[in-house]
Amino acid sequence: MAIIEQILFIIAVGVAGYLIWQRYTLIKRAIQLGRPEDRSDNPGERMNIMLRVAFGQRKMFAKPLVGFMHFIIYAGFIIINLEILEIIIDGILGTHRIFSPVITGIYPFLIGVFEVLAVGVIAVCVAFLARRYVLRVGRFQPERHREMSWRWPQLDATLILTFEILLMLAFLTWNASDSVLRERGVGHYGEVPVGDFLISQLLKPLFTGFSDTALVAYERFAWWFHILGILFFAVYVTYSKHLHIAIGFPNVYYSDLKPKGEMENMPEITREVQLALGVTPTEAANVDDNGQQPVDAPAEIGRFGAKDVGDLRWINLMNAYSCTECGRCTAACPANITGKALSPRKIMMDTRDRLEDIQRGWKAHGPDYKDDKSLLGDYITVEEINACTTCQACVQECPVNIDPLDIILQLRRYRIMEEAQAPASWNAMFSNVENNMAPWKFSPSDRFNWADQVNQ
């Protein structure tokens, strides 16, 4: 490799690294806007969940065929990119296939495995494009889900799938042209002690008519296209829904360990109740949300519930950046199925959009910039959050353990407790729960009268 290529390569890696780091710091700061919450408990259990759900793709295999296809892309992304280490070393040192003389015996086998996975990735990406544009799977269609009517979600998915196909084709044709150059003994190519590779050898006839000069030019083009494509991909995913490739793993690790259906009480309200029951202010300020365990005294309450992203917990904001926009949550949502405005996927996309808008404000006006918008009202409507039945279907379906329901509940709490804007039917239910210990308007002593009728 010429010295100029080495210099250009080092510059390309440096620029990509800088852009990724810059984007990482912005995303980290955006997540830190959320309220602090300690999720360092039970590390063993959390690691087990991450291994099963994130690495093992357990939820994806609820639908075996789709799960298998996703696993091919997942495995391909992880394993094929191991060869990037060799490419980076070659680019920096000016060498060519530096690992081949070190592991001569298994090098062709490893590259063969990478090539098989590359073919699998191409096939699956084509299948996924067909599902979107030929089979037209319902959860991806803009006419059925308004969050997909925006140009970016559709374009983002199409760009990524197409780009992965091009990267894998570049990888295979690079290997094929490289093999022909080795056979001809052209320059340093003839010094590499390896033979043909499993899949790319089938593509060699495409290059047999090339002159040595043209073949070297194509080999260099494919090599540069592949590595620059990988670097571009690494930067691009930080702006894409495919950020879950990196952030999905910690998101699963820090997911909620409480049983589904267990709704967390608000510590501030618990303390108010404790005070009403005669507990001293000092004691009331040091009980947890169940009124039992001592905790540190809380900071001054800003507001009940959440109106904007800064009122949510940090894990809610990490959830937003981890969303794959797959739509499994929305497809399972009974409110959405029956035509209500609610789409759990849109809740997560809106939360991320709000964070992205805040980031743009920081970049344009400085780190202290604040606008007049809020998550509730400007991004998510009251109609959406009121439609939720709290059934937990969205939480159960998410392949990376995102919890849209937690955001919905916090927004509801703000709407009811800060703005006193609960629907009339809800207020009647709240009154019945307070007075009758049930949502229905009858005496607690009459609660089991229905059983007498059942037994008649």
Instruction: Compute the average pLDDT of residues 268-294.
Output: 63
The answer to whether 154 and 349 are in contact (CB under 8 A) is no
What is the rounded distance in angstroms from the CA atom of residue 99 to the CA atom of residue 63? 39
> In a 3-state reduction of DSSP, which class is residue 270?
helix
Rg (CA), the chain: 28
The answer to whether 99 and 44 are in contact (CB under 8 A) is no
Instruction: Compute the average pLDDT of residues 101-124.
Output: 91
Give the Cα-Cα-Cα angle 425, 431, 436 (nearest 5 degrees).
120
195: pLDDT confidence band, cut at 50, 70 and 90? Answer: confident
Where do we find the tokens 């998410």? 398
What is the rounded distance in angstroms from the CA atom of residue 96 to the CA atom of residue 192? 8
Per the model's pLDDT, the better-predicted residue between 60 and 294 turns out to be 60
Residue 313 dihedral angles phi and psi, to the nearest 5°: -80, 155
Per the model's pLDDT, the better-predicted residue between 304 and 361 turns out to be 361
Least confident stretch, 147-151, 175-179, 223-227, 299-303: 299-303
Instruction: Compute the average pLDDT of residues 192-198.
Output: 86
Question: Per-residue pLDDT for 69 more than 70?
Answer: yes
CB atoms within 10 A of CB 316: 23
Closest among 402, 442, 130 to 260, alpha carbons compared: 402
CB atoms within 10 A of CB 399: 22
Q: Which secondary structure element, helix H or strand E, spans residue 76, and what is its range? A: helix 64-80
- Residues in CB range of 117: below 8 A, 6 or more apart: 72, 75, 76, 79, 80
How does 252-290 read in b/e, with b if 16+ C-beta sit within 10 Å? bbbbeeeeeeeeeebbeebbeebeeeebeeeebbbbeee
Closest among 423, 407, 205 to 323, alpha carbons compared: 407
Give the Cα-Cα-Cα angle 78, 25, 358 (nearest 5 degrees).
115
**What class is the 267-439 domain?**
mainly alpha
49: pLDDT confidence band, cut at 50, 70 and 90? Answer: very high
Q: What is the pLDDT of residue 9?
A: 94
CB atoms within 10 A of CB 231: 20
Q: What is the pLDDT of residue 130?
A: 95
Quote the tokens at residue 122.
């191409």
297: pLDDT confidence band, cut at 50, 70 and 90? Answer: very low
Domain ranges within the chain, ordered by starting residue: 3-32+63-253, 267-439
**What does the mean pLDDT of the chain come to?**
88
Instruction: Compute the average pLDDT of residues 411-431.
Output: 90
396: pLDDT confidence band, cut at 50, 70 and 90? Answer: very high
Question: Per-residue pLDDT for 179 more than 90?
Answer: yes
Q: What is the pLDDT of residue 383?
A: 95
Question: Per-residue pLDDT for 1 more than 70?
Answer: no
What is the rounded distance in angstroms from the CA atom of residue 124 to the CA atom of residue 130? 10
Q: What is the pLDDT of residue 285?
A: 55
How far CA 311 is from CA of 35, 79, 144, 437, in Å, comes to 6, 40, 31, 30
Q: What is the pLDDT of residue 177?
A: 95
Q: What is the pLDDT of residue 237?
A: 92
How does 43-57 read in b/e, with b if 16+ C-beta sit within 10 Å? eeebeebbeebbeeb
In the chain, pLDDT over 90 holds for what percent of residues? 59
Q: What is the pLDDT of residue 293?
A: 46
Instruction: Compute the average pLDDT of residues 138-157.
Output: 87
305-344 confidence digits (pLDDT tens): 999 999 999 999 999 999 999 999 999 999 999 999 999 9
Q: What is the pLDDT of residue 283?
A: 59
Angle between helices 314-322 and 404-413 (to 10 degrees): 130
Q: What is the pLDDT of residue 299?
A: 46
Q: What is the pLDDT of residue 288?
A: 54
Quote the tokens at residue 198.
């499993």
Closest among 182, 166, 175, 277 to 228, alpha carbons compared: 166
Quote the tokens at residue 35.
């309220």
In the chain, pLDDT over 70 holds for what percent of residues? 94
Instruction: Compute the average pLDDT of residues 225-252.
Output: 92
Q: What is the pLDDT of residue 15?
A: 97
Amino acid at 107: Y
